[in-house]
Structure 1
Amino acid sequence: MLTAGPIDAYVASLSGALRGPRAAKADLVTEARDGLADAAARYEEDGLDRAAAERAAVEEFGAVADLAPEYQRELALAQGRRTAILVGTAVAAQSIVSELAWRSAAAGWTWQPNRAYAVLANAVDYTAYAVVAGALLAALACGIGSRYVDVGRSFVRATGIAAIAVVAFFAAGGLLLTAFSPFGHHHGTTTLVSATATVVTATLPIWMSYSGLRCVRAAG
């Protein structure tokens, strides 16, 4: 059985200590491996054998426990950025599809919402605008903004929790709006718009919740 060299063992340990988007994690681990390989090559040129050169490179690189927090911060920011973009895009898409579905289903209706229904509908609409704007700001903060603002894992954790809260709010709001409108009791022919709305409203909340949970995990 072949025994992993010092670099392979170090990289495996580093990879096991990190959590986050697969591609971003792979890039960080590959960057670390390449740096270690270059350092080991220099030590070999100085006369050390391969095993000794790898051990020296690992020692120079630093302990996993010391480096992992900074690597993890980068992965957390990547996950936060992805989640924010997803939430903003998903809420905008849901709003558009729901509006189209509503207009399609309500063609020819004379029903007028009462004050409580109108207040709830407006609250849902304005919250959607606020969420899209907030998601854009969060994505910028986790991306290029992290160069200028001290954004860390606590911010990413808050982004994940906010994503889950957004799902809960719109799920509750959507159920209430549907239940207390004629659309909630309408059993007409299924159209392409209504079928699309059903798929979107069922799929995107699951995706957003999962991404939010990944934020919390990456920020842990």
Structure 2
Amino acid sequence: MGADVIDRYVTDLGSRLNGSPRQVRDLLTETRDSLADATEAHLGSGLTEQEAQRRAVDEFGPVRVIANEYQAELAVGYGTRTLVWLAIVLPLMHMAWEYGRMLFIGPWPAFATPPPSWYLFVAKANDLTNGIASAVALAALVAGRLVARRYDPKLLARVAASIGMVAVGAVLAGNLSIVLATAHLDPQRLLQSAPMTIASAVSWIVVVRLGLLARRCLSCATIVV
């Protein structure tokens, strides 16, 4: 039926998009409103409802073309969100953990014997990982926005996803390495505070969540509509 032309168009368009549900919903709402306005204009020129809707849809553009344009916009949004999370959440999480450690544990007691050099290297690398990942994400956010405007908009999302996956992998590897190294030298250090044990578990959950966000970002950037 003619009255379903716009509905079918919007439904088809929505089925081709992958991204934030809120952003997809906003884009589809804008599309429907634009088509409704165009339909009203064509009705005023003497076309029937069916003819007006078909004219509005034809003028708006083929679904595949519009979907590709919208998907690029969604990819930029996901890429930006991923980099912002990496740039802000990782250092905040590290600072919160250190503050909690000072609050519930205090300064780390000295080892019974001086720790080996490999342990100090692991500890230092683990401390630096969050800061480095955050700095790289911030730099990619600034540079990526400029590149995305001149070249493929989905490039920002691909860069963000790659950085996110590498950063999450590095943070997880660093956390796991220091836990295993500490367990090897002094297991009691891992059991000094129940609140910090919970905080560590929460940190792992946040990092895994960032990894899932990066994976979704990559999917959003590589989908073919």
Gaps of 5+ in 2: none
| Counterparts of 2:129 and 2:167, CA distance in 1 | 9
- Give the secondary structure class of the aligned counterpart of 2:151: coil
Q: Which residue is equivalent to 2:221? A: 219
Q: Which residue is equivalent to 1:16? A: 15
| Counterparts of 2:203 and 2:3, CA distance in 1 | 48
1:73–1:152: 8 Å Cα contact kept in structure 2?
yes
- State whether structure 2 residue 63 is matched by structure 1 residue 82: no
Structure 2 counterpart of 1:109, one-letter code? P
Q: Which residue is equivalent to 1:115? A: 117
Q: C-alpha offsets along residues 6-56 of structure 1, whole Å, 9 cap, x if unaligned? A: 111111111111111111111111111111111111100000111110000
Equivalent in 183, 189, 192 of residue 186 of structure 1? 189
Equivalent in 123, 130, 133 of residue 131 of structure 1? 133
- Compute the TM-score of the two structures, normalised by the length of structure 2: 0.84
Q: Which residue is equivalent to 1:30? A: 29
1:141–1:149: 8 Å Cα contact kept in structure 2?
no
Q: C-alpha offsets along residues 197-218 of structure 1, whole Å, 9 cap, x if unaligned? A: 2242221022101101110111
Q: C-alpha offsets along residues 49-68 of structure 1, whole Å, 9 cap, x if unaligned? A: 11110000001111011121
2:20–2:74: 8 Å Cα contact kept in structure 1?
yes
| Counterparts of 1:101 and 1:113, CA distance in 2 | 24
Cα RMSD (Å): 2.5
1:87–1:163: 8 Å Cα contact kept in structure 2?
yes
| Counterparts of 2:163 and 2:207, CA distance in 1 | 13
Deviation at 1:69, TM superposition (A): 1.2
Aligned residue pairs, count: 217
Percent identity for Structure 1 against Structure 2? 28
Structure 1 counterpart of 2:165, one-letter code? I
Q: C-alpha offsets along residues 92-127 of structure 1, whole Å, 9 cap, x if unaligned? A: 133213333554546461224332222222223333
Q: Which residue is equivalent to 2:49? A: 50
- State whether structure 2 residue 210 is matched by structure 1 residue 208: yes
Change beyond 3 A, Cα 1:63–1:204: same
Structure 2 counterpart of 1:197, one-letter code? A
Q: Which residue is equivalent to 1:173? A: 174
1:179–1:185: 8 Å Cα contact kept in structure 2?
no
- Compute the TM-score of the two structures, normalised by the length of structure 1: 0.86
Change beyond 3 A, Cα 1:128–1:189: closer
